[in-house]
Amino acid sequence: MSDTNGADDRPVQPRVSIIIPVYNEEAILHSAVVDLVDRLQEFDWPYELLLAENGSSDRTVEIGEELSRRFPQVRISSLGEPNYGKALKKGILEASGEFVLCDEIDLCDTDFYARAMAVLESNEADLVIGSKVMPGANDDRPLFRHSATLVLNGMLRVALGFKGTDTHGLKAFRRAPLVEIARQCLVDKDLFASEFVIRAERAGIRIREIPIRILEKRPPSIALMRRVPNVLKNMAKLFVAIRVKG
C-alpha cells in the first residue's frame, strides 16, 4: 500500500477501503480505475482500492493485475465464479480500512465518497446508503430499470419490513460494527446487498440515506431480464434467511 498522494512508496495502513465488484469489464476497467485514482488525490485519507472480480471470461483479471502493478494502492481479488454478492461480501471481509466504500465501476462517484465520509466522520451514522429514489435523488437510468428498483424495494418493505428507500448501489460504512453483519448474510448474487442493509437495520445500526444522481453510462454486464428469475429465487431465500432463521 502506498500513500494516496503518491509522495513516496512507504506502506501505510489504509483508512478507507473502496470495494468495486467487476465482471467482464475489459472495455472500461483501465480508464475507470486510472480516472478514479486521479480523482482520489483530492482526499487526504490513505486508501486501498479492491477490485472484487468474479468469474470474468474476458481480460478483466489481466487488466486488474496490470493496474495493481502500476498503482500500489490497487489490488484485485478473484472469486472464480460470476457472483456479485459473494464478491462484494469477500471484499468486505478482506478490507482493512476503518471505513468501507462500496461502488460500481461505471459510477466511481467521488461526490458520494465526500458526503458519506462527512457523515461517518462526524459520527452521525455507521452506515450511509446512496439512495436512487429518495427525495433529492436523480435517477437518469431507463424507465424499466428505475421501475425495477421501485418494485424490488416495495417487495422488501412488504415481505421483510424494510423501512428505507434503497438497498442497492453505493454504500459507506464503519467496518467494525458492520463486518459481522456481512459475515451473517446467507444470500448472495443480486440480493446480498439487500440482506446486508436489512440485517443492519434490524440490528439497530445507525443508518443514514443520502440522495445520489445515477446515470447509466453503458448497458449492464448482465441484462436485467436475465436476472429476474434469479432475483425472485433469492428473494425467497432472503425471506427464509431473515424471517425464519433470523
**In this structure, is residue 4 part of a structural domain?**
no
Residue 95 belongs to domain with CATH number:
3.90.550.10
Same domain membership, residue 80 and residue 160: no
Same domain membership, residue 88 and residue 155: no
CA 78 to chain centre: 16
CA dihedral 106, 137, 182, 224 (to 10 degrees): -50
Same domain membership, residue 143 and residue 87: no
State the residue for C-alpha cell 480508464: 31
Same domain membership, residue 239 and residue 173: yes
Predicted confidence (pLDDT) at residue 159 exceeds the cutoff of 90: no
Same domain membership, residue 104 and residue 22: yes
Predicted confidence (pLDDT) at residue 1 exceeds the cutoff of 50: no
Same domain membership, residue 142 and residue 42: no
| pLDDT score of 246 | 66
**What pLDDT digit, counting tens, does each position of 164-183 carry?**
999 988 999 999 999 999 99
**In this structure, is residue 7 part of a structural domain?**
no
Show which of 108, 138, 156 is a domain's final residue: 108
CA nearest to 20, candidates 107, 93, 131 = 107
Alpha carbon distance, N-terminus to C-terminus of the chain: 38
**In this structure, is residue 79 part of a structural domain?**
yes
**What pLDDT digit, counting tens, does each position of 216-225 carry?**
766 665 555 6
Same domain membership, residue 89 and residue 25: yes
**In this structure, is residue 99 part of a structural domain?**
yes
Predicted confidence (pLDDT) at residue 241 exceeds the cutoff of 80: yes
Give the HSE-up count for residue 145: Cα atoms under 13 Å, Cβ half-sphere: 17
Q: What is the DSSP letter of 75?
A: E
Domain residues for 29? 13-108
Q: How many angstroms separate the CA atoms of 176 and 45, rounded?
A: 18
Number of domains in the chain: 2
State the residue for C-alpha cell 425472485: 232
**What pLDDT digit, counting tens, does each position of 81-99 carry?**
999 999 999 999 999 999 9
**In this structure, is residue 117 part of a structural domain?**
no
Same domain membership, residue 133 and residue 93: no
Residue 87 φ then ψ, to 5°: -65, -40
Contact 14, 96 (CB under 8 A): yes
Question: pTM of this prediction?
Answer: 0.89
| pLDDT score of 217 | 67
| pLDDT score of 49 | 99
**In this structure, is residue 66 part of a structural domain?**
yes
Same domain membership, residue 241 and residue 136: yes
